[in-house]
Amino acid sequence: MRFEELNLDPRLLAAVAKRGYKETTDVQTRTLGLSLQGRDAAVQSQTGTGKTAAFLITVFERLLRDPSRKNGRTLIIVPTRELAVQIEGEALLLNRNLGYSIGGFFGGVGYDHQQALLRKGVDIAIGTPGRLLDLGNRGALRLGDFRILVIDEADRLFDMGFLPDIQKLIAKLPPAGVRQSLLFGATLDRLARQVAARYMDRPAFIELTPERVTVEAISQELYRIPSQSKTGLLMGILKAEAPRNALIFTNTRHGAERLARRLGRAGFAVRHLTGDLPQLRRLRVMDDFAAGRFPFLVATDIAARGLHIEGLEMVVNYDLPRDTENYVHRIGRTGRAGKSGKAVSLACEKFADKLGHIERYIGMKIPVRKATAQLIAEGLSLGFST
């Protein structure tokens, strides 16, 4: 289904088109068919299937329908700071010309900025349970003002022991029937169904059959390489393959910054994206990469989920991810919408122990390619030396 068929507000439709979204995914088709009517829904869907856009489109449509903004005011509860940052970034991109106030509320940072934002008024609040409860107890976050509740990655929230905090938050929200509630999880187990039945208003249960954890259109390759030779090999691969664009993942922000500097010195047009960058700078980097203003982006896992780049040709795991599932999220940035893509992984001694877990998770052995001395030398000839 095309987004034009959903009868969205023209301003939201323009924002969706600017993000490069053309046709709805399965989870978007089934969720939006209910959520745009104001229905509650509990949705089983894997990360990377478009669920973030499904609930954000619902939220923005509700806000646009109500000039007072009261009926669209939304609380989004997530398990981690990283996910809050990712959802906030996607919301800000859709909001670019809509004018709503959006904020992330999580621990690890001071209260001053978050409380100042709440004093001005927030239309969409995205946060972790502990910080949201703390702000509510301080009187800074008026939970009774929210008319939409989204619980994202509910299974992770419950596994991490956040259910009591979520129950306390829900108790301070408007009652079911007054608020609209949406719950998303990779699985809808017995606990998730109990939460939905108790705290939601006649929820619809949407269960999408999990897709293969790897996209068949993605060609996967693995190089075993000592850590001191990784940068030379990477540059040799980029020179030999000459992809139009590539997203390169590291496990740390310092690693991303350092690798981007090395690639830049070798003549590659490159930027880096990490969670500690100021919000506006992150948005500008994502926008410029999506628009093709530079071809290579080095990023931490902040870009593994939710970053939509039309026609991304290559993903490189410069570091194998510590979290097995993140391998799938990372390579899923390419090979989208039926297009082919390539994923290249560099397995050095620091992270090689993750390889077995990854291959068991995806149900296949990743084909190994030889890191030839010539390929590494080709990279080093670009001006970088170890």
Q: Are residues 58 and 129 both part of a single domain?
A: yes
**pLDDT attached to residue 52:** 92
Torsion angle of the four alpha carbons 333, 334, 339, 343, in this order, in degrees rounded to the nearest 10? -150
Residues 243 and 163 in one domain: no
The pLDDT value recorded for residue 385 is 46
Q: What is the pLDDT of residue 81?
A: 83
The predicted-structure confidence for 231-255, as pLDDT tens digits, reads as follows 999 999 999 999 999 999 999 989 9
| CB contact set of 132 (below 8 Å; sequence gap of 6+) | 75, 77, 105, 125, 141, 169
Q: Which residues of the chain have pLDDT under 50?
A: 211-214, 385-386
Residues 265/241, Cβ–Cβ less than 8 Å: no
Nearest to 129 by CA among 174, 178, 165: 165
Residues 201 and 40: beta-carbon distance below 8 Å: yes
**CATH number, domain with residue 33:** 3.40.50.300
Q: Is 223 found in the same domain as 143?
A: no
Pairing of strands 124-127, 102-105: parallel
- On whether the CB atoms of residues 106 and 82 are closer than 8 A, the answer is no
Residue 338 to residue 336: CA distance in whole angstroms: 5
Q: Of 151, 178, 207, which residue is a domain's last? A: 207
Strands (E), 45-108: 74-77, 102-105
Q: Indicate whether 385 belongs to any domain.
A: no
CA distance 115 to 23: 38
- Pairwise CA distance, residues 259 & 319, whole Å: 11
Tokens of 94: 């859709």
Closest CA to 227 of 313, 315, 319: 319
User: Does one domain contain both 194 and 164?
Assistant: yes
- List the domain range (segments joined by +) for residue 119: 3-207
Q: 386 lies in a domain? A: no
**Distance, C-alpha 264 to centroid of its chain:** 26
CA–CA separation, 384 and 84 (whole Å): 37
Whether residues 241 and 287 share a domain: the answer is yes
Q: In what order do the strands lie in the sheet with 102-105?
A: 102-105, 124-127, 74-77, 148-151, 180-185, 41-44, 204-207
Given 156, 188, 207, which residue is the final one in a domain? 207
Number of domains comprising the chain: 2
Identify the DSSP state of 210: P
Angle between helices 230-241 and 253-265 (to 10 degrees): 60
Q: What was the pLDDT predicted at 303?
A: 60
Question: Within this chain, do residues 238 and 320 fall inside the same structural domain, yes or no?
Answer: yes
